[in-house]
Amino acid sequence: MFDPRVLTALRQAGDQAFRQLTLVEDELNRRFADSEDAVSALMLAVASGEPLLLIGPPGTGKSRLIRAFCGLTGLLDETDPARDHPDYFEYLLTPFTEPSELFGFYDIPRAMKGELVRIDSGMMQHAIVVYLDEVFNGSSAILNSILAFLNERVFHDRGMRHPVRLECLLAATNQIPEAPELRAVFDRFTLRCQLRNIEARPESLGTLLRKGWTETYSRHRALPDCADLFARVANFRGVMTRMTSEGLLVPESNHPFYRSLAQMVQQARQYDLSEMSNRRLVKMVHIMVMHRLYRATRAEEPLDAALSLGSEQLTLIPRYFLDLEDEEIAYKLERVAARA
């Protein structure tokens, strides 16, 4: 699908960032019980820059997982909750949340002089990582701003476009939205991951209580080797953009991989598990590429190993790319992926 030599070169460009993500992933899995899928989705979101939506009932650890990640990477100081964290922005949206709560209120003294200037230090447009809890509770104005963040990496303010620092947008919701006006925003979250309460089994409860107790009542520090993670990721994405612009990193028009991909897309549409929009398909393959590169580093494959997409990447479809869950259909999709 892609030139294996180009994927190898791209993996080499991102190897240090992927190694840092490996450290973060291992630490999060050590700290959280039964959250491997969510942690893996988070690593893919960081590597690719694609937005991630965590779905699950209250108390399943969605927010805690995001904060733990930001603490490990130095965006948030978990030992001093009162300390400012300008690179990380978090907010719980309600139907009454005003845009100024996210983007900054206007300076009243200057407004009285006829100048509309926002006091925007530490607000959403200046953060590297943004986490929005109960994201679909936002007003239409807020949701439109989120779409601009995701699609254009800009903040629209009174007819002016301001670039934002966003590298990774993360969100959470208790349930998947059904309202038609929310589907456009939902579709923009390329990665979706379900979190559930732990099973009522002695061994599962024991693991939860041991890890959950430590997570709740101890202090956690950043990983010293991961302070520059987002700088490395940004450099890696720059290499990817350059390779694409030069015509090196471009999917082939005809490849055997497409047969299995087409079959899985057709089944997802047939059973109404996802419309699999054109935009979504392109972004899915982007994440599949990131997954293959990251797995190569994670598995300590030789740096010069030829890389290609395969069945492991196709299994991401039932794991992270569907609108709805269906265990029976997910099993069918996994069987198609296994034959790729």
Looking at the domain assignment, is residue 280 inside a domain? yes
Q: Which of 227, 244, 279 is the last residue of a domain?
A: 227
Give the pLDDT confidence score for residue 310 in this predicted structure: 96
Give the pLDDT confidence score for residue 82 in this predicted structure: 80
Does residue 74 sit in the same domain as residue 183?
yes
- The DSSP string of 275-303 is ---HHHHHHHHHHHHHHHHHHHHHTT--T
Does residue 179 sit in the same domain as residue 52?
yes
- Two tokens at 24? 């973060």
Tell which residue, 44, 340, 39, has the closest CA to residue 190: 44
pLDDT tens, position by position, 141-196: 899 989 998 889 998 888 889 999 999 999 999 999 888 889 889 999 999 999 99
Give the pLDDT confidence score for residue 87 in this predicted structure: 95
Inform me whether the pLDDT recorded for 280 exceeds 90: yes
Q: Which of 227, 262, 292 is the last residue of a domain?
A: 227
Tally of domains within the chain: 2
3-state secondary structure of 61: coil
Domain housing 251: 230-338
Give the pLDDT confidence score for residue 80 in this predicted structure: 85
Looking at the domain assignment, is residue 7 inside a domain? no
- 211-248 b/e (C-beta count within 10 Å ≥ 16 → b): bbeebeeeebebbeebeebbebbeebbeebeebeeeee
Does residue 105 sit in the same domain as residue 84?
yes
Looking at the domain assignment, is residue 310 inside a domain? yes
Give the pLDDT confidence score for residue 113 in this predicted structure: 83
3-state secondary structure of 64: helix
Give the pLDDT confidence score for residue 117 in this predicted structure: 85
Query: Among 3-12, 99-108, 204-213, 299-308, where is mean pLDDT lowest?
Result: 99-108
Mean of the pLDDT values across residues 14-28? Answer: 98
- Two tokens at 4? 């294996």
Q: Which of 170, 205, 227 is the last residue of a domain?
A: 227
Mean of the pLDDT values across residues 58-62? Answer: 97
- Residue 253 Cα to chain centre, angstroms: 28
Residue 215 sits in a domain whose CATH number is: 3.40.50.300
> What's the whole-number average pLDDT of the chain?
94
Give the pLDDT confidence score for residue 13 in this predicted structure: 98
